[in-house]
Amino acid sequence: INTNFSNNKRQPANTLIGSLVKSTMAPIGFIGLGIMGEGMASRLISQGVAGSDEVPLVVWNRTSSKCDDLKERFPDKNIEVKGSAKEVLESCYIIFSCLSTPEASRAVFEGDNGTLAGVSAGKFIIDCATLAESDMKRMDEQVKSKGGQFLEAPVSGSKGPAHSGMLIFLCAGSESIYQDATVQSSLKAMGKANHYFGKE
């Protein structure tokens, strides 16, 4: 499914994208502020999806200075820094994750204070790393076992497109997550197109 909303991209972000999330008004989480994640999180802020008093952006990164750098870039925005991935999960119901390598992804996901440790009923986990199909399947099963939902959403693009909102998201997994209005507005802020390939 091609859900490229390019015909709307010239409209003011705070009226176009921000209006889509007013019905939920809950913090959005972002785990991993590396080469890709920093640009993606910045787009959520600059496009009015998160970072407001009503919808804070809640972040964590293995190197905490990356979180401080993001706050310095957006001093007037509501960015909350947590001490672990688990704490991000405990504060949000929609959480994006973008770790640099399969090893880092698994360490953060399965660590004692990691992503999985914070999963509970109703949590939406969107993983944007490029991982093996077996890894994504394992993560999906682990999240579901704790009552959450999982969407794999690896990106096509690099640092430049991440900062300019020109990524392409290739999604599979929970259709409920993919169709969620806040998730859609987030994907739109971070990318030029997103595609859903089904539950498997």
Residue ranges, the chain, pLDDT below 50: 1-23
76 DSSP 8-state letter: T
Residue type, 82: K
Tell me if 16 sits within 8 A of 188, measured CB to CB: no
Tell me if 43 sits within 8 A of 165, measured CB to CB: yes
Tokens of 25: 């008004």
Strands 155-156 and 149-152, bridge-based pairing: unpaired
Give pLDDT, residue 25. 72
Give pLDDT, residue 200. 60
CB atoms within 10 A of CB 6: 9
For the stretch 41-74, pLDDT in tens is: 999 999 999 999 999 999 999 999 999 999 999 9
pTM recorded for the entire structure: 0.87
Tokens of 200: 């498997």
